[in-house]
Chain A
Amino acid sequence: MTTATVAKPKAQQPGKGSRRVSLPVLLLVIAGVLVLTSIVRLISGAEGITSTGQMSTALRLAVPIGLAGLGGLWSERSGVVNIGLEGMMILGTWFGAWAGYQWGPWTGVVFGIIGGALGAVLHAIATVTFNVNHIVSGVAINILALGATRYLSKFTFENQPQGSSKQSPPIDSLGTFDIPGLSSWLDTLNQKHWFLVSDVAGLIGGLFTDLSPLTVIAVALVPVTWWVLWRTAFGLRLRSCGENPVAAESLGVNVYKYKYIAVIISGGFAGLGGAFLSIVASNVYLDGQTAGRGYIGLAAMIFGNWMPGGLALGAGLFGYTDSLNLRGGTTNVHALILLLAILLVFGAAYLAWRKRYLPALITAVVSALMFVWYVSTNEVPKQLVSATPYIVTLLVLSLSAQSLRMPKADGLPYRKGQGK
């Protein structure tokens, strides 16, 4: 546990020096959003939007996305685009469940990692050795993983009690734990519905309630990844392969080797994310369980500007909007419309201040429409709730994509000796 709590602030650090947004500004923005959310909660009476339960669910949903994002980070930092994360996750869910129901959940976790890494080996062979277009190879892996797991299920799960060709037998739980005293205290605080205090209590409480050991490991992997990639010689070499492989080669780095290692680790992360889905998030493997989370992890990583801290933030945002689906979504998303409208007012003011009047006007009009929508309805359709995470991802990406910088040689083919 200590690793996670102590190391958590570290994960934010990469955001500090690298972008125009400095740490104090980032903290100020987060604090501002919290205050706004709190106001919206008081106005709308949608207490659910910052409840401990909501935050706890959000964390559970964010973990697989974050793990997939970390996988994408490793591979893209070495210069290999990995859209096959989805397929590697599928392999992770299947192998995790297959080993999990027979030999216990921890064995399942290990096998999930191995399953994802197997898919990654294929991806590495295709992209690094044969220089196949990275996206093409990734798409092929996604198709192959889907077919392979369906085929394997027929042989393994179908003949088992409580299993079928689309579902594995149940797996034992890894168990959950609370921090004695702290969790219940935060929950009580959250129940008081005080301005801001309860919201912060809910946010922190969610991080310390009903924790699975795998969640703790996953959260800890964010700073670990940052440390390995940005603070070790190994990480420097790996990243140099993604920025300028020819230069790396001239300094004696075996680019192929580093790319292979990075892609295989990437698959391991995706596989772990898959194993989390089948072992912790539910207790069975289901056909189609990943539901595009590999792609969303990739989007979270892009949103996070190819940085661990940013991707954790992105995964958290996605996990939160996804959690609305499970808990009182129709009223909570309705409350979020008000939040969005208020944010847009600020955006319009900012644009007007920068003397960009036309965009400011458009933003103001959209904001007004949001207000009208909020006032004239009591809740939103269920379908909008399920689309919310995807819409938010699109919105966030379209606002942030231009200030992002991906590794310079990301997705480009590389041959040994090409710089000669």
Chain B
Amino acid sequence: MKKFDKERALLAVAGPVLALVAAIVLTSIVLIASGKNPFEPYRLMLEQVGFSDIQVLIINQASLYYIAALAVALGFRMNLFNIGVDGQYRLAAMMTAVVGAHVALPSFLQVPMLLLVGLLTGAFWAGIAGVLKVTRGVSEVVSTIMLNAIATSVIGYLTLTDNFGVLVGDNITTGVMKESGWVPGINLGADVGEIYGLVFLAVLLGIGYWLVLNRTRFGFDLRATGASETAAAASGVDAKKMVFTAMLISGGVAGLSGLPLLLGDSHTYALTFPAGLGFTAIGIALLGRNNPGGIALAALLWAFLDKASPALDYATPVAYEKEIATIMQGLIVFAVVISYEAVRQWGLRRQQKRVGAELAAAAAGNNNHKKEVAA
């Protein structure tokens, strides 16, 4: 049994390591091809990690990524592709900002209420895709993509100054939220910055994700449905209900993912909110293998590439294009999916060989035994 575990650990580590190495090598090739130093950018970016203000930026950014990636991963665990995390997150952040700007409760009520608004908005938007899938058989991949585009229009409409929009300078915002809804952060000094208070929400969600999936009946049903829908149905799981529930939860979590930024720093929703968060989250969930710990590492890596790369543009004496980080992110995702599959197949072959060898040995033993009896 113990030997088997070692085998599993080897396989689990081999995938990401192989992927990272491959991505770095490929990125270096791109750098060489564009006539740049193939190693200097890595050193420059790693140097950035030493600065505490960059550290704060990375942690804050990673908290958004982490929650969004959990939402994606939840769907992945049952073969649901919630491509619509982006729309769910933006719509939920906007609605929360609007409610926060117009309702003022005492702080201990206001913050939970705002979290609930974000959760419900995200769940509602994902629920549309869920209903369409369950009742009409519409692929969630297509419907969530359409809902992303529709969310953009809905946000555009609701933030018109005739509705909830407030013009600040040239930017349309939703107005500043009431202060009781602000979540205080951990202040590390004026030039370092503040860690969002809701970073802890991200951690809690990660723990919750693990507990629900691995320690509850619901989590078991969810994973079973993902592994084999027919087998799950045979054991009494209502697949349609599971699809709908998983979509709601995924959307709800997605709805929370913008809130660390909204309640912790910006206190208003504007078009400056990070776009494409939901798509980035897909890559992060893949990289983290849908495992809460893995996703945390992946989110930190991604946030590091995001926040350390701008320094490349101002590097002296030679500046590098910060887009190299984007290329690297794409290459990482690609290398990850291929290497996981390659490692999995390699592991299967190893297992087959070992089992085969064991069986052959047993068969050989049997034969010998028979011969002895015969003789």
Contacts and interface: CB of A to CB of B under 8 A. Distances in A.
User: Do A and B share a complex?
Assistant: yes
A384 B148 CA distance: 14
Given A148-B330, A151-B327, A154-B321, A398 B132 contact: yes
B338 A132 contact: yes
Interface in A189-204: none
Nearest to B148: A292
Given A144-B331, A383-B153, A150 B326 contact: yes
A306 interface: no
B137 A402 contact: yes
A132 B341 contact: yes
A137 B145 CA distance: 17
Contacts of B328: 147
Contact of B323 (A142, A151, A391): A151
Interface string B128-151: 000010001111011101111110
Interface string A210-241: 00000000000000000000000000000000
A83 B141 contact: yes
Interface residues of A, number: 44
A133 interface: yes
Contacts of A148: 327, 330
Contacts of A141: 334
A286 to B, nearest CB: 16
B183 interface: no
A381 interface: yes
Nearest to A388: B153
Contacts of A345: none
B337 interface: yes
Interface in A133-154: 133, 135-137, 139-148, 150-151, 154
Given A132-B341, A151-B324, A292-B145, A140 B330 contact: yes
A155 interface: yes
Given A292-B145, A398-B138, A391 B337 contact: no
Contact of A402 (B136, B141, B286): B136
Interface size class of B (residues with CB under 8 A): 35 or more
A397 interface: yes
A7 interface: no
B316 interface: no
A135 B153 contact: no
B337 A140 contact: yes
A397 B282 CA distance: 24
B156 A394 contact: no
B286 A140 contact: yes
A122 B283 CA distance: 17
A409 interface: no
A393 B333 CA distance: 30
Interface stretch (A19-27, A174-182, A246-254, A295-303): A295-303
A401 interface: yes
A397 B338 CA distance: 32
B98 to A, nearest CB: 16
A127 to B, nearest CB: 10
A397 B333 contact: no
Listed residue (B152, B153, B328, B342) with the most chain A CB atoms within 10 angstroms of its CB: B153
A130 B342 contact: yes
A122 B324 CA distance: 19
A393 B138 CA distance: 11
Interface string B113-139: 000000000000000000010001111
Interface string A374-396: 00000001011011001101100
Interface of B: 30, 34, 81, 83, 132, 136-139, 141-143, 145-150, 152-154, 156-157, 160, 279-280, 282-283, 286, 321, 323-324, 326-331, 333-334, 337-338, 340-342, 345
Which 5 A-B pairs rank lowest in CB-CB distance, beginning with the nearest? Answer: A144-B330, A147-B326, A387-B153, A383-B157, A151-B323
Interface of A: 83, 122, 125-126, 130-133, 135-137, 139-148, 150-151, 154-155, 292, 295, 298-299, 302, 381, 383-384, 386-387, 390-391, 393-394, 397-399, 401-402
29 contacts: A125-B338, A132-B340, A133-B337, A136-B337, A139-B282, A139-B283, A140-B286, A143-B279, A143-B283, A143-B329, A144-B333, A144-B334, A146-B326, A147-B323, A147-B326, A148-B327, A155-B34, A295-B145, A298-B142, A299-B142, A302-B139, A384-B153, A384-B157, A386-B153, A387-B152, A390-B150, A393-B142, A394-B146, A401-B139
Given A126-B334, A144-B333, 8 more contacts: A139-B286, A151-B324, A154-B321, A298-B142, A387-B150, A394-B143, A398-B136, A398-B138
